[in-house]
A and B are shown apart, each in its own frame.
Chain A
Amino acid sequence: MPPRTLFDKVWDAHTVRTLENGQTQLFIGTHLIHEVTSPQAFGMLDDLGLAVRMPERTFATVDHIVPTDVREEPFADELADQMIKALRANCERHGITYFDLHSGLQGIVHMVGPEQGITQPGSTIACGDSHTSTHGAFGAIAFGIGTSQVRDVLATQTLAMSRPKVRRIEVNGTLPPGVYAKDVILHIIRTLGVNGGIGYAYEYAGDVFDRMSMEERMTVCNMSIEGGARCGYVNPDQTTIDYLEGRPYAPQGAEWEAAVERWRALASDDGAHYDDVTVIDAADIAPTVTWGINPGQAIAIDEDVPHPDRVRPEERAGVLEALAHMKLQGGAPIRGTKVDVAFLGSCTNARLSDFREVAAVLRGRRVAPGVQAIAVPGSTLVKEACEREGIDRVLIDAGFEWRAAGCSMCLAMNPDKLVGDQLCASSSNRNFKGRQGSATGRTVLMSPVMVAAAAVAGVVADAREVFGTAEAVSA
């Protein structure tokens, strides 16, 4: 067998056959579903008189629409209430494992899979949500899909897929102090563009990813989709294995030993063919923030916002539109821009390590007057872990609201929304116009520690200055 990438190995092991149009019928070993993109798919199944082919490989939770303050049902929002009821009913009817709101295990779908050990190396994972790419952190091939495809997976446990090319993105060297996984992926997207990944799966490799924790790898893989890639992954290693050991759905005993051996063999072989290789020096990455209305419109915290007269002609219209929406001055620093809301949350950055880092810098500090600061753990388990460690107290004492798990202000399908043209320093993944619930709302994406710095300073700020470099050193 010639040397292969992890992608090749997983794809080949899951290939059912080639379809008439040349696409691959790909077996999906793990299907994750949630309340937003599944009800219509179940409706289509019913219309066609089809059953769920492998309910035991389908896992559900509720995340997008759940309120993060008052969680009693029925929800005040009738439409949201209909959605949770529909999900519950569909799971019951089809025998699907469902991590319900009060199960103690509910959370953003991309947190729940890893926490439970459902997300495993070498698996294929699909979910009706573009940030399914998160699960690639484990060396899984994980795709976001549309609702008709949710139907396809429910009915057949397979998808019609075109095989993407594979680009290896190596980040070598050591990240400077105060630079986090979020900065790494924002830097990659900025470098390769929001279109750069179209047609590709991204393999993240090199010193920086080797040293990252699983939670940091998830942050990076999560935003592969913002770079246009359909999925992104990191080769499994000891870090992956240590994370999974003992999780509820991970293999146990003799099965565990066998699984570990298989997982170790999955990593891309030396000499494997890549369609493209991009190499980035870790030393070039700074704390990064977005200034515009797509995640590629990002700059280092000490850079100036682009001036429309000084960009390439084909970029000019986009820059002008972004500046107008963001109410920013071209050529001016982003630092010092007034912040109205600070949001710590989302499947990009609402894990225990994120809150630990934030608590470490926030201890004894206060959110600036006039800033609404909310902290929304990504899962109920993260919430409880934070509370056991007293992290919630540190955040509350600093002036943050401490909420229950859900997507919250990442996309504002629940009551957490920006109002008018409020500017939000956000640890989430998308800064599109209207994303956080107000058509004129403004989003500046950044790492959780930078969100904390913005909350304390009341303006977009350099965490290394606000907290002092020593404190802001990456864990």
Chain B
Amino acid sequence: MAAIAPVRTVVGRGVVVHGDDIDTDRIIPARFLRCVTFDDLAEGLFVDVRFDEDGRQTGHPLDAPERAGATVMVSGRNFGCGSSREHAPQALARAGFRAVIAGSFAEIFFGNATTLGMVCLALGDADLAAVQAAVDADAAAELVIDVDEASVRVAGHTYRGHLPDTARSALVKGSYDPLAELLGADAAIGAVADALPYVRAGGAAR
């Protein structure tokens, strides 16, 4: 399998999507899940809040011209709650985002995003508010995320956040996609399978 590039830093401009509990239906509505590849997901990103019922833009920050090319999304607590759809981080990635900064992350979203090499940095309430304010105030502000330090630097301040050790080391070592490692244990997998009666019995109906 091809080697995976380590992710040590993410440098880029940001965009704030305000609110707590931004769920995966909001990030990518279900109708965009009617697909057999992930290729076209970017167009569905937050689409229901970016356009009104008549298809007019609502002035969402994602559509602000000065935010074009942003690579860091900043949001609130419990980002990515709801469904297990990997379509959510895939849509973010395909729209150019390489990191999300939030108060906290729903677990499945966090895992899905990390597997793609997307950095999910959690900040405490006060720091998050400060980062949101800095990004809101200046579309040109550059954010520098240091993965190993679990920190973000913006507008002259550094904010230390939280990134679980497993995700942090996987990102900096380039081992965030676990498949190669999982494949390396074939004999051990077989041994566990053989010790489980329900697996040994196979999948045939009686």
Contact = CB atoms under 8 A, between A and B. Distances in A.
Given A116-B205, A158-B189, A29 B111 contact: no
Interface in A231-273: 248-252, 255, 258-259, 262
Nearest to A49: B1
Contacts of B25: 411, 430, 432-435
Contacts of B1: 48
Given A43-B37, A123-B198, A146-B112, A317 B189 contact: no
A191 B39 CA distance: 40
Contact of B115 (A20, A146, A317, A440): A146
A30 to B, nearest CB: 8
Contact of A195 (B35, B104, B179): B104
A230 B35 contact: no
Contacts of A194: 21, 78, 81
Contact of B201 (A144, A255, A294, A432): A255
B37 A156 contact: no
Contacts of A22: 165-166
Contacts of B148: none
Nearest to A435: B25
Interface residues of B, number: 69
A437 B31 contact: yes
B166 A21 contact: yes
B137 interface: no
B37 A40 contact: yes
B34 A413 contact: yes
A156 B198 contact: no
Interface stretch (A53-61, A166-174, A338-346, A354-362): A53-61
Contacts of B185: 16-17, 25, 156, 158
Contact of A16 (B115, B192, B198, B206): B192
Interface string B21-52: 10101100111011111100000000011000
B30 A413 contact: yes
A144 B83 CA distance: 8
B169 interface: yes
Contacts of A130: 82-84, 108
B203 A27 contact: no
Nearest to B36: A39
Contacts, number: 234
A120 interface: yes
Contact of B84 (A13, A145, A314): A145
B104 A21 contact: no
Nearest to A248: B205
A294 B81 contact: yes
A329 interface: no
Contacts of A420: 53
A230 B182 contact: no
B86 interface: yes
Interface in A109-160: 116, 118, 120, 122-123, 128-130, 132, 144-149, 151-152, 155-160
Given A228-B106, A430-B82, A437 B181 contact: no
A15 B33 CA distance: 33
A27 B195 CA distance: 11
Nearest to A129: B84
Contacts of B205: 116, 248-249
Given A255-B201, A412-B31, A86 B108 contact: no
Contact of B170 (A21, A97, A151, A294): A21
A97 to B, nearest CB: 6
28 contacts: A19-B178, A19-B182, A21-B165, A21-B173, A36-B85, A37-B85, A40-B36, A57-B199, A118-B203, A128-B84, A146-B84, A146-B112, A148-B112, A148-B179, A248-B206, A249-B204, A251-B198, A258-B197, A259-B197, A259-B198, A294-B23, A317-B19, A317-B20, A318-B19, A430-B83, A432-B26, A435-B30, A440-B53
